Amino acid sequence: MADNSNIEDEEKGIFGRLFPLVAVLLVGGLLGATGSYSMTIEPAALAVELNMESGPLVDPTMVEFEGELARLDFPPRARRIGVEGKLELQCQIQLDHSLICLPQSFELPEHFGLFADYFLHQSRRLTMSETLKDGSPSAGARFPLSVNYRLNP
Same domain (yes/no): 19, 42: no
117 shares a domain with 52: yes
Tell me how far CA of residue 55 lies from CA of 2, 46, 146, in angstroms.
46, 18, 20
Same domain, residue pair 45 and 28: no
Looking at residue 123, the DSSP 8-state letter turns out to be H
Contact (Cβ atoms closer than 8 angstroms) between residue 57 and residue 143: yes
Mean pLDDT per 10-residue interval, the chain, length 153 residues: 43 38 34 55 50 80 81 87 94 89 92 92 88 94 92 85
Q: How far is CA 26 from CA 34, 47, 82, 85, in A?
A: 15, 33, 19, 22
* CATH number for position 138: 3.30.2420.10
How many domains does the chain divide into? 2
pLDDT recorded at residue 122: 87
- Is residue 86 domain-shared with residue 99, that is, in the same domain? yes
Task: Give the CA distances from residue 152 to residues 38, 43, 63, 83, in Å, rounded to whole numbers and listed in that order.
Answer: 6, 22, 28, 11
Q: Are 97 and 128 in contact (CB under 8 A)?
A: yes
Residues 47 and 117 reside in one and the same domain: yes
pLDDT at 50 (0 to 100): 42
Clarify whether residues 92 and 24 are in a common domain. no
**Same domain for 7 and 55:** no
Q: What is the pLDDT of residue 95?
A: 86
57/106 same-domain check: yes
Per-residue DSSP letter, 117? H
| One domain, residues 17 and 56 | no
User: Quick check: helix, strand or coil at residue 30?
Assistant: helix
Task: Kindly state whether residues 5 and 65 are assigned to the same domain.
Answer: no
Q: What is the pLDDT of residue 5?
A: 42
Amino acid 80: pLDDT: 94
Range of the domain at 2: 1-32
Whether residues 18 and 70 share a domain: the answer is no
pLDDT in tens, 85-98: 999 999 999 888 88
Considering the domain architecture, whether residues 135 and 81 belong to the same structural domain is answered as: yes
- Measured CA to CA, the distance from residue 39 to residue 71 in angstroms comes to 11
